[in-house]
Structure 1
Amino acid sequence: MTPPNARHHRTSLAIATAVAAGALLTTGLTAGAASAQTTAAPAAAAKPLAAAPTALSASARSSLIADAQTAAPDTAHRIGLGAKEKLVVKDVVKDVDGTVHTRYERTYDGLPVLGGDLVVHEKADKTEGVTRATKATIKVASLTPKVAASKAENQALTAAKDAGSTRTDADKAPRKVIWAGDGTPVLAYETVVGGLQEDGTPNELHVITDAATGKKLHEYQAIETGTGTGKTLYSGTVTLGTNLSGSSYQLYDTSRGGHKTYNLARGTSGTGTLFTNTTNVFGTGSASSSSSDQTAAADAAYGAQATWDFYKNTFGRNGIKNNGTAAYSRVHYSSGYVNAFWDDSCFCMTYGDGSGNTHPLTSLDVAGHEMSHGVTSATANLNYSGESGGLNEATSDIFGTGVEFATNNSSDVGDYLIGEKININGDGSPLRYMDKPSKDGASLDYWSSSAGNKDVHYSSGIANHFFYLLAEGSGAKTINGVSYNSPTYNGSTVTGIGRAKALQIWYKALTTYMTSTTNYKGARTATLSAASALYGSGSTEYNAVAAAWTAVNVS
């Protein structure tokens, strides 16, 4: 997220990220304990849908990946790739009915193909379809650049400085790649610029340069940030997973992949120091400017466990990468840092303490939002620019909202408002609205041909609006005490299918039918494919997906 007065300086702002939960943690925390809040006993579980993902053990997933990699040469030939192309397995999803969706990255003559990812769908060892990021044939006449790598590096450094970065430097020499993100595939350089962004957030700007002409083809920011300047979110008394080591309790959740919460103590690099305490209580329920304050740490740990539980209980997903391994969290980043960010390179979530170091940016939907960027990266890896960037942001808003509803915390009930507890605008209003995104003054309610030119945090409104309509329908209604009134582009009336089904459709679309270059038209196709697989073509759910997209002018 980005403070309002800084938004015009940047192209990649942010609620791309979000973690952590409320502020009040005043009770004893049981070592290795599970959930966050006592809730009513769940109803009997329904029979799983045939096309729903099945939970895989780490060993079963590893075995499927190894088998797919062994068969990759044959798969490449079978789906029509050229002799110079190879497939590298990234992930595997197996449905209840045995269908396997294998996600691949691609190389060409040994070079990575950016935008060349694809998903092969198989059942009973028979290929049922392929979802491709690009339909273009990968064929490059020469792998010898016509421009020097130094030119690409200088171009990238200039792009970073123009975006307001400070202390910019190239992390490593530009690497040769094949760029297939749009248009005809070409030989290109990829340069990664480090240093800091203008507000102190770490910088990881990827710039793609045509190796024949020197033209900049694409750029995206890999550090996806979230920001807020509101009050600490009070989540009430919660239970956290902790670990007793000797005579000290650690903020180390061994029941959820080993999530740990560290203190950077105003530093900006490294892992920091693991939070420990002599008693099994972390935090005081109020913010403190101390760099050793444990309330922010408790919030971060709560947000991480709520996000883990949401993905596990809703989709059977075993952690962000679905491999049973947790990310880790860092709090007290820098001084007066009004932001928070997810970073794939460290597989970690980081929080600043906000203005005066007394407003830590740890809210529940922000937690779910931020860590969901990691899920997107591990699956479709939607490019963080243009329409795919808007879909990336919306995915985090959608699942962040899912986390908030699923956690069922009485101090922060579920809603379709984003960042409503952090008071980023200073007037108590939320950062974004899913029922009518334009209420924030910048986000799009409907698709238009200029959507890809909007900042991704504003073009995300189209998918946010779609999801709200799919889940709840159009018109005026009150949910958990919050009033909504969702319009439609064509004046139609949309009947929602419920949040639970809408989440299943979006998750399946993301994990099996979207690729790095999916745009809004492609998202419509992906979600219709997901609805068809889950509920049947022509079903009420399928027709609702079509109606909701039409209602936001995506056809």
Structure 2
Amino acid sequence: MVNKYSIAALLLLGGISSAYAQGQDLTRVKHKEVGEKGMPTLIQFRLEGKSYQMSEARKALAEQLELTADDQFQSAKIETDPMGFVHEKFEQYYKGIRVEHAAYTVHARQGTVESMSGSFERVQNVKTAPALNEQAALQRALRFVGGKKYMWEDAGEEATLKEHENNPRASYKPEGELVIVTNTQAEPGSPEFGQPTLAWKFNIYSQQPVSRAYIYVDAETGDIVAKDAIIKHAAATGTFATRYSGTKTGATESINGSYRLRELTRGSGIETYNCRKGNSYTTAVDFTDLDNSWTEYANANLDNAALDAHYGAQSTYDYFKNIHARNSYNNAGAKIKSYVHFDDTPGDGKGYENAYWNGSVMTYGDGYTRFDPLTSLDVAAHEIGHAICSSTANLTYSYESGALNEGFSDIWGAAVEYYKDPNKATWLIGEDIDKVRPSLRSMSNPNAESQPDTYKGTYWYAGSGDNGGVHTNSGVLNHWFYRLVVGGSGTNDIGSSFSVTGIGIDAAAKIAYRTESVYLTASSNYAAARTYSIQSATDLYGAGSAQVIATTNAWYAVGVGAAYSGGTTPPPTTGVTYCASNGTNNAYEWIDLVNLGTINRTSAKETGGYYNGTALSTSVAAGSSQTIRFSAGFASTAYTEYWKVYIDWNKDGDFIDAGETVVSGTSASAATLSATFTVPTTARSGSTRMRVSLSDAAQTSCSSFTYGEVEDYTINVTGGAALTSNVVASSNVSSSATLGSDNLVGTEVGIYPNPATDVLRVTLPNNASAVSVQVADMQGRSIKGTQLTSNGELNVTHLAKGMYMLSVSDGQKTFRQRFVKQ
């Protein structure tokens, strides 16, 4: 039985606690965030004057959390991050018994404590002597799990565990630990629900049916009071003909004239094994190949799925090592083992439709009705993401903390997939393996797969199934990350109008990683995730930075907390309210490019047919000539579209004054169009609004039409009229440019063949020479390794199938044209 740390350590901490529990020292506090239970989740300290030193970490905890003689904190881990912060994590105890999921971390730099964060449980009047002994409690837990066979009943698995742990005493057989845990199994609304409870904790691993979870048994009544799932659900170089990612290279091991899927170049190694459609890890064997060219694995047995698992594990390791300086999932070089062709019920003729991290190794089924083998790159990264979570925040797998656990794994699935192959569908999870739906989950549009994109909005799950809806309510975190990366605007399910300026996937992933690895605790909820991600963005990029603003506004977009209200929040463009305008259906045509000065935005379809880009701006001088470029995206056929560009020169909140329609006309071209206009000399100085409208029928500046889109941006006029002028004199206003005039022409670059398979031939107008070339996907992400030869040929063999935007410059003008790689 395991239930207490050393008496000496706990007595020492108890003495410190009682000495300092005189009340909070508020003179040191700069800012404090309080959670839903009224306890501080984040405390930031003043760095001037009297400050806590790292040697006073326990004193800081005792004073700021107002500990009593019954409360203790035991130091559990100390880490130093690349930014120079030292993080000391403390676990909470009550009368010598550990409080499950309660921990606090002290964050210091150069010896001075800058903040502390975590989850503190105010425990009072809880009995600490169990009425139920360990064995009786274990029987209650086993009855609750209902396994037919357990891992400790398999001698082979027991031997494998001892070898894996390098510990002859290691066993899957559960040992009870007395803890205090919050009761989450009682009926919501009952007196027992949410209350701290003395319980026996068991790690129970069922082999048939497969499950592994921490089970908590009330030490007085024998009731199950909590469950925390561990299984969440869901030196040679070889050439891998993977099932889902094409031909890749990966590290293997040469042995006895053959090669196997093992390697020691990453941490303690990465190894991939064949369960041979069984449910035993012990009897699993190596995948081998004679020449290290793994092409024959595309067979009826679906063995090429193993190549994806091995490649996925290597890719995930590389991503975290190279991007986040993390050495394997435990940051200590732990070996990553993957088991492919796993089947929980061998011989039934059905493949196992799941993949999971079991607390030690990766396990992949072959799928059956819903799925193909579950070894795609994003799924592998997702599952290893669970291992990372267990070594960092260790988010409890139930309700909101469980939804965060799932959401972070989806974030890492997307991030690793983009890191290794940006041509894949970054924002879809499991799109390669799903035989029934487009994907398991969509981060860009969670509603498409019956997930909420807004906290407690449409599809929010309020029941107790699926551990409190962990696979459903994770959509909120998924969509927060998507908004943080790409930005966007609209109105969410709770009626909040939002606008987010995206910061890109690299910065967003760094914020997410720091949130999970530094600040979140086991019991964190969505409110805590918001608080800690904003703090992470502040740590990384500074207070009031664009990244902090975006992080805050992305949470507002998904219904968690308020929009950013301080520092450099993008202001309204004019201080006036503009009419609404949008397309109600953009499935067939949409605006995919707007370029004027420093505004240069390529995009796909916008939610609700409208994009609020007023956070993006460019400056134009009164009297100057300006050229705006724009283009339409089409799902298939290029229709005749009506284009309108409006600029509110006199800043009166509308676009109806003379000269405020600066572009008007029609075009059926998918090429980049351009128009030149003159800024009126009487235009008012300062920020005003530009509206770009695309419709399949004639529109006005305030139309809500069926097919098309509308996008708004900010124009900053310099050298114009003072605000005392009421209107812009019509004689000084430029006439609008129209299609068919010399001002609006299709700047179409010649490309053929289109679609292309290997080589794309490019010609510029007037046979001009190309100075630079860029290829981007339809989300605006630049594709590396594209180069135009002297005879105008572009090699596109390395591109995945899909549509791309080609941008070619002759040194004076940039020409854009879409093409398809087939």
Structure-2 change in CA distance of 1:439 and 1:362 (3 Å):
same
Which residue of 2 is the match for residue 471 of structure 1? 485
Which residue of 1 is the match for residue 82 of structure 2? 95
Mapped contact 2:243–2:305 kept (Cα < 8 A): no
Identical amino acids, percent of aligned pairs: 35
Structure-2 change in CA distance of 1:250 and 1:73 (3 Å):
farther
Q: Secondary structure at the match of 2:500?
A: coil
User: Which range moves more in the overlay, 242-251 or 368-377?
Assistant: 242-251
Which residue of 2 is the match for residue 371 of structure 1? 384
Mapped contact 1:351–1:362 kept (Cα < 8 A): yes
Q: Secondary structure at the match of 1:159?
A: helix
Using the TM superposition, give the Cα deviation of residue 239 of structure 1 relative to its aligned residue in structure 2, in angstroms: 0.3
Is 1:192 aligned with 2:178?
no
- Structure 1 unaligned spans of 5+: 1-70, 227-231, 477-484
Q: 2:313 aligns with which of 298, 304, 309?
A: 304
Q: Secondary structure at the match of 1:194?
A: strand
Structure-2 change in CA distance of 1:358 and 1:542 (3 Å):
closer
Q: Which amino acid aligns with 1:179?
A: V
Mapped contact 1:436–1:486 kept (Cα < 8 A): no
Map residues 54-73 of structure 1 onto 2, 5 A cutoff: none
Mapped contact 2:353–2:371 kept (Cα < 8 A): no
Map residues 103-122 of structure 1 onto 2, 5 A cutoff: 103-108=89-94, 111-122=97-108
Q: Secondary structure at the match of 1:324?
A: coil
Bigger CA radius of gyration: 2
Mapped contact 2:275–2:339 kept (Cα < 8 A): yes
TM-score (normalised: structure 2): 0.51
Distance (Å, rounded) in 2 between the aligned partners of 1:420 and 1:295? 17
Distance (Å, rounded) in 1 between the aligned partners of 2:138 and 2:55? 34
Which residue of 2 is the match for residue 549 of structure 1? 555
Q: Which amino acid aligns with 1:517?
A: S
Which residue of 2 is the match for residue 447 of structure 1? 455
Distance (Å, rounded) in 1 between the aligned partners of 2:444 and 2:197? 41
Mapped contact 2:243–2:307 kept (Cα < 8 A): no
Mapped contact 1:112–1:178 kept (Cα < 8 A): yes
Q: Normalized per residue, which structure has more helix?
A: 1
Which residue of 1 is the match for residue 429 of structure 2? 418
Mapped contact 1:92–1:100 kept (Cα < 8 A): yes
Q: Which amino acid aligns with 1:338?
A: E
Using the TM superposition, give the Cα deviation of residue 116 of structure 1 relative to its aligned residue in structure 2, in angstroms: 2.0
Q: Which amino acid aligns with 1:523?
A: A
Q: Secondary structure at the match of 1:455?
A: helix
Q: Normalized per residue, which structure has more strand?
A: 2
Is 1:519 aligned with 2:510?
no
Which residue of 2 is the match for residue 343 of structure 1? 358
Structure-2 change in CA distance of 1:295 and 1:122 (3 Å):
same
Q: Secondary structure at the match of 2:511?
A: helix
Using the TM superposition, give the Cα deviation of residue 138 of structure 1 relative to its aligned residue in structure 2, in angstroms: 5.0
Which residue of 1 is the match for residue 441 of structure 2? 432
Mapped contact 2:54–2:111 kept (Cα < 8 A): no
Which residue of 2 is the match for residue 130 of structure 1? 116
Is 1:85 aligned with 2:87?
no
Q: Which amino acid aligns with 2:393?
A: A
Structure-2 change in CA distance of 1:76 and 1:179 (3 Å):
farther
Q: 1:458 aligns with which of 461, 466, 472?
A: 472
Q: Which amino acid aligns with 1:130?
A: M
1:454-485 deviation digits (Å, cap 9, x = unpaired): 41000101111111111111259xxxxxxxx9
Which residue of 1 is the match for residue 181 of structure 2? 179
Which residue of 2 is the match for residue 501 of structure 1? 507
Q: 1:222 aligns with which of 216, 223, 230?
A: 230
Distance (Å, rounded) in 1 between the aligned partners of 2:499 and 2:319? 30
Distance (Å, rounded) in 2 between the aligned partners of 1:137 and 1:358? 46
Is 1:143 aligned with 2:160?
no
Which residue of 2 is the match for residue 393 of structure 1? 406
Mapped contact 1:76–1:87 kept (Cα < 8 A): no
Structure-2 change in CA distance of 1:531 and 1:84 (3 Å):
closer
Q: Secondary structure at the match of 1:445?
A: coil
Distance (Å, rounded) in 1 between the aligned partners of 2:250 and 2:85? 37
Mapped contact 2:101–2:523 kept (Cα < 8 A): yes
Using the TM superposition, give the Cα deviation of residue 267 of structure 1 relative to its aligned residue in structure 2, in angstroms: 2.7
CA RMSD of the aligned region, Å? 3.1
Using the TM superposition, give the Cα deviation of residue 504 of structure 1 relative to its aligned residue in structure 2, in angstroms: 0.8
Mapped contact 1:233–1:422 kept (Cα < 8 A): no
Using the TM superposition, give the Cα deviation of residue 513 of structure 1 relative to its aligned residue in structure 2, in angstroms: 1.1
Distance (Å, rounded) in 1 between the aligned partners of 2:368 and 2:362? 19
Q: Which amino acid aligns with 2:249?
A: T
1:183-211 deviation digits (Å, cap 9, x = unpaired): 554321113333246xx4x2113222332
Mapped contact 1:475–1:486 kept (Cα < 8 A): no
Structure-2 change in CA distance of 1:168 and 1:255 (3 Å):
closer
Q: Secondary structure at the match of 2:378?
A: helix
Which residue of 1 is the match for residue 138 of structure 2? 153
Distance (Å, rounded) in 2 between the aligned partners of 1:387 and 1:403? 24
Distance (Å, rounded) in 2 between the aligned partners of 1:545 and 1:128? 21
1:148-173 deviation digits (Å, cap 9, x = unpaired): 44554354334334xxx654699425
Distance (Å, rounded) in 1 between the aligned partners of 2:287 and 2:330? 24
Q: Secondary structure at the match of 1:355?
A: coil
Is 1:247 aligned with 2:257?
yes
User: Which range moves more in the overlay, 116-125 or 357-366?
Assistant: 357-366
Mapped contact 1:99–1:121 kept (Cα < 8 A): yes
Q: Which amino acid aligns with 2:474?
A: S
Is 1:277 aligned with 2:289?
yes
TM-score (normalised: structure 1): 0.74
Which residue of 2 is the match for residue 315 of structure 1? 324
User: Which range moves more in the overlay, 509-518 or 485-494?
Assistant: 485-494
Is 1:491 aligned with 2:501?
no
Structure-2 change in CA distance of 1:159 and 1:447 (3 Å):
farther
Structure-2 change in CA distance of 1:523 and 1:141 (3 Å):
closer
Structure-2 change in CA distance of 1:296 and 1:377 (3 Å):
same
Using the TM superposition, give the Cα deviation of residue 350 of structure 1 relative to its aligned residue in structure 2, in angstroms: 1.0
Q: Which amino acid aligns with 2:294?
A: F
Using the TM superposition, give the Cα deviation of residue 422 of structure 1 relative to its aligned residue in structure 2, in angstroms: 0.9
Distance (Å, rounded) in 1 between the aligned partners of 2:383 and 2:77? 21
1:327-369 deviation digits (Å, cap 9, x = unpaired): 111112124212111111xx21111122299942110110110
Matched residue count: 454
Map residues 8-47 of structure 1 onto 2, 5 A cutoff: none
Which residue of 2 is the match for residue 32 of structure 1? none
Which residue of 2 is the match for residue 288 of structure 1? 300
Q: Which amino acid aligns with 2:548?
A: Y
Structure-2 change in CA distance of 1:490 and 1:151 (3 Å):
farther
Mapped contact 1:382–1:388 kept (Cα < 8 A): yes
Structure-2 change in CA distance of 1:495 and 1:356 (3 Å):
closer
Q: Secondary structure at the match of 2:79?
A: strand
Distance (Å, rounded) in 1 between the aligned partners of 2:313 and 2:273? 13
Q: Secondary structure at the match of 1:465?
A: helix
Distance (Å, rounded) in 1 between the aligned partners of 2:287 and 2:545? 50
Which residue of 2 is the match for residue 263 of structure 1? 274
Mapped contact 1:260–1:301 kept (Cα < 8 A): yes
Q: Secondary structure at the match of 2:278?
A: coil
